[in-house]
Amino acid sequence: MRHTMPNTFRSSLVHRLRPALAALGLALTPLLAQAAIPIQHWTHASGARVYLVQSPTIPMLDVQIDLDGGTRRDPADRAGLASATASMLSAGVAARDGQPALDENALSGAWVDLGAQMGSNASGDRFSVSLRTLTDPDLLEKAVALAARQLLSPDWTASVWERDRLRWLASLKEAETRPGTLAGRAFSQAVYGDHPYGRETTAATLNAISVDDMRAFYRRHMAACRAQVSLVGAIDRAAAERIVDRFMAALAPNGCEPLAAVPEVAPLTKAVDQRLPFDAAQAQVLIGQPGHRRNDPDFFPLFVGNYILGGGGFVSRLTTEVREKRGLSYSAYSYFAPGLHAGAFQVGLTTRPDQAAQAVSVAQDVVRRFVAEGPTEAELKAAKDFLINGFALRFDSNRKLLDNVANIAWNGLPLDYLETWTGKVQAVSTADIRRAFARVLQPGRMVTVVVGAKP
């Protein structure tokens, strides 16, 4: 659950950043041309792992702190707690050390005055806090100080949570009217079973969450010793070390309580087929199973192979067979969602209710044949050309570059990951893809969910 930026905040930020953003393309050009990102890495005294990319041309800094506090850490009866905690991190700052309290409006106003932005969100694996600010010395010092206050003394205001919970409950109720929501929920539960990846936020779990739960969750999971800090911008290592010192000092009082191990996603033992009634113009189809972890040694064969199977849009096999040859759907897709555990492999499409059975059969057959036979050499060459030629677009902004650095930090990837990326893609063979897909996917034991099909 992510807060959107107020219009006044956005206007102030854009006004201050316009000169910097205008120079962004020029500043990143040398990095893009070399396809080499010089990443500095060290371990902070607290135990936090720090990753820095210096980009001195742009007077801007992006920081991301990632911690093991994603939704996989939600208690089963309080699904949504991590997301609620992330949302409420901007609800205000408590009074401390002679500094007055700031309610959510005063805190938002303080960020507007600085032309800076701080945000937080919870994904499946991570609780992430981000800061964007100009590097003018006075502005940078104030932005870092305010961010540290927010990390140290968030004010879990019960009245704000009650208001936000009502909004969230209304959003959940509205989502129940959409067939895509029902399909996604049924698919997730069937693929993940009892694993935390499959937990869904409901009215009951939301109503069970209190601000005391958020305080406890924050203290338990926001530990400096387990943090990964990524910084991209116009600062040197000495300045980065001072910033990290401030942020880790704010998290240090939370301690470093050991976290319980999260089990792996169990493989499916048999096929699951669910046909759910729903009166809609389009039937929703999802097919899949648990896929692979992000650190799987076959990550690149699976990544390139999926581009050919269903990740390449109109040039993928799924779209060719389902849309172009048979006109069963506007589009069909597939993707892997790897994480610290085996994220789902998913095929998706929408179709006319009376065509759902045929569309499911065609999609299943495409996956089955791809797993058995792999791609052709021509398909592989086209995929490599597209992926390699578009590689620079993966980090053509500070935000994208920060995302890549944070990905390297979180997943423990080599520091030269971006430098070797195109070589790893180029090295993938048709045999690699066939072997990897045959190992990871079992077409005879997949989940198939159809919502809204005609009998």
One digit per residue, the tens of pLDDT, for the chain of length 455 reads 333 334 433 344 444 444 444 444 434 433 443 446 899 999 999 999 999 999 888 899 999 999 999 999 999 999 999 999 999 999 999 999 999 999 999 999 999 999 999 999 999 999 999 999 999 999 999 999 999 999 999 999 999 999 999 999 999 999 999 999 999 999 999 999 999 999 999 999 999 999 999 999 999 999 999 999 999 999 999 999 999 999 999 999 999 999 999 999 999 999 999 999 999 999 999 999 999 999 999 999 999 999 999 999 999 999 999 999 999 999 999 999 999 999 999 999 999 999 999 999 999 999 999 999 999 999 999 999 999 999 999 888 889 999 999 999 999 999 999 999 999 999 999 999 999 999 999 999 999 999 999 87
CATH number of the domain encompassing residue 299? 3.30.830.10
In a domain, 262, yes or no: no
Q: Residue 225: CB partners within 8 Å, gap ≥ 6?
A: 46, 47, 48, 256
One domain, residues 239 and 297: no
* Span 227-237, pLDDT tens digits: 999 999 999 99
Q: CA separation (Å) from 277 to 189, 263, 284, 453? A: 18, 33, 11, 7
User: What residue numbers bound the domain in which 189 lies?
Assistant: 7-254
In a domain, 260, yes or no: no
One domain, residues 318 and 440: yes
In a domain, 79, yes or no: yes
Of 205, 225, 254, which closes a domain? 254
Q: Residue 354: CB partners within 8 Å, gap ≥ 6?
A: 454
C-beta of residue 160 within 8 angstroms of C-beta of residue 93: no
One domain, residues 24 and 149: yes
Maximum separation of any 2 CA atoms in the chain, in Å:
70
One domain, residues 182 and 75: yes
Please give the backbone phi and psi of residue 432, each rounded to the nearest 5 degrees, phi first.
Answer: -60, -45
In a domain, 259, yes or no: no
In this prediction the pTM is 0.90
Name the nearest CA neighbour of 382 among 317, 432, 323, 296: 317
Of 224, 254, 284, which closes a domain? 254
Cα 106–97–256 angle (5° rounding)?
Answer: 95
* Span 177-189, pLDDT tens digits: 999 999 999 999 9
| d(C-alpha 98, C-alpha 104), whole Å | 19
DSSP state of 261: P
Of 254, 288, 315, which closes a domain? 254
Number of domains in the chain: 2
The per-residue pLDDT for 8 is: 39
In a domain, 2, yes or no: no
One domain, residues 357 and 318: yes
- For residue 182, which amino acid is it? L
One domain, residues 295 and 181: no
In a domain, 348, yes or no: yes
| d(C-alpha 135, C-alpha 142), whole Å | 10
For 50, the 3-state DSSP assignment is: strand
| DSSP-derived secondary structure for 28-57 | HHHHHHHT----EEEE-TTS-EEEEEE-TT
For 73, the 3-state DSSP assignment is: helix
| d(C-alpha 10, C-alpha 17), whole Å | 10
The angle, 0 to 180 degrees and rounded to 10, between the axes of the packed helices 237-251 and 137-152 is: 20
In a domain, 211, yes or no: yes
C-beta of residue 428 within 8 angstroms of C-beta of residue 375: no
One domain, residues 76 and 201: yes
In a domain, 246, yes or no: yes
One domain, residues 237 and 277: no
Cα 61–65–69 angle (5° rounding)?
Answer: 160
One domain, residues 47 and 122: yes
The helix/strand count (H/E) of the chain reads as: 17, 13
* Span 65-119, pLDDT tens digits: 999 999 999 999 999 999 999 999 999 999 999 999 999 999 999 999 999 999 9
DSSP state of 310: I
Q: Residue 128: CB partners within 8 Å, gap ≥ 6?
A: 64, 65, 66, 67, 86, 120, 121, 122, 406
One domain, residues 184 and 306: no
The per-residue pLDDT for 6 is: 40
| d(C-alpha 236, C-alpha 137), whole Å | 13
For 117, the 3-state DSSP assignment is: strand
Q: Residue 204: CB partners within 8 Å, gap ≥ 6?
A: 77
One domain, residues 384 and 314: yes
The per-residue pLDDT for 454 is: 84
Tokens of 369: 């044949």
C-beta of residue 372 within 8 angstroms of C-beta of residue 441: no
One domain, residues 306 and 357: yes
The per-residue pLDDT for 5 is: 37
Q: Would you report the helix, strand and coil content of the chain in percent, each value rounded to 5? A: 55, 15, 30
